[in-house]
Amino acid sequence: MKIEIWSDVMCPFCYIGKNNFEKALEQLPFKDEVEVEWKSFQLDPSLNPEETKSTADYFREKKGFPEAQARQMISQVQQMGIGAGINFHFEKALITNTFSAHKILHLAKKYKKTNEMEEALFIAHFIEGKNVGDHKTLIDLAESLGIDSEETRQVLDTSTFDD
């Protein structure tokens, strides 16, 4: 069975869904017969890749939510995260353009490490507060999974995987 998952690494619901999906998958007697294919979906491709924003600032500026409403939404998502085993740190999360992160996910597919890269990007963004649009951060993450840093740099600096 093949399951396609459309996701963006700065989507908290995607991270929650990933954790819940993996827990459910572990319960299936045919779990080893399931192939998961991660697909790229940018939540906000209009974001400037050279800039970062806090989650609260993004909600206020981009979505027009008052600060109190933004904080309430963040709190609700944090509670959902706890239920899925995730301790979100939205106060650290840097909202940015995720196009380069998606390119690295496609490179990871070549190494059969897409799921590991998806997880590493979620952790970098939501837990560690790293800029998942920054090339050095992405090269370091790829390298930590055994993906060649020079190949990663080449993918980031060219149109490879842009389509």
Over the stretch 57-113, which tens digit does the pLDDT of each residue have? 998 888 898 988 988 999 999 999 999 999 999 999 999 999 999 999 999 999 999
Using DSSP's 3-state secondary structure scheme, residue 111 falls into: coil
- Give residue limits of the domains in the chain: 2-52+88-157
Instruction: Say what the pLDDT of residue 163 is.
Output: 87
Over the stretch 5-63, which tens digit does the pLDDT of each residue have? 999 999 999 999 999 999 999 999 999 999 999 999 999 999 999 999 999 899 888 88
Length of the chain: 163
Query: What's the token pair of residue 135?
Result: 């090339």
Is the domain spanning 2-52+88-157 CATH 2.30.40.10? The answer is no
Query: What's the token pair of residue 46?
Result: 């209009």
Q: Name the DSSP letter for residue 53.
A: B
Query: What's the token pair of residue 110?
Result: 């070549």
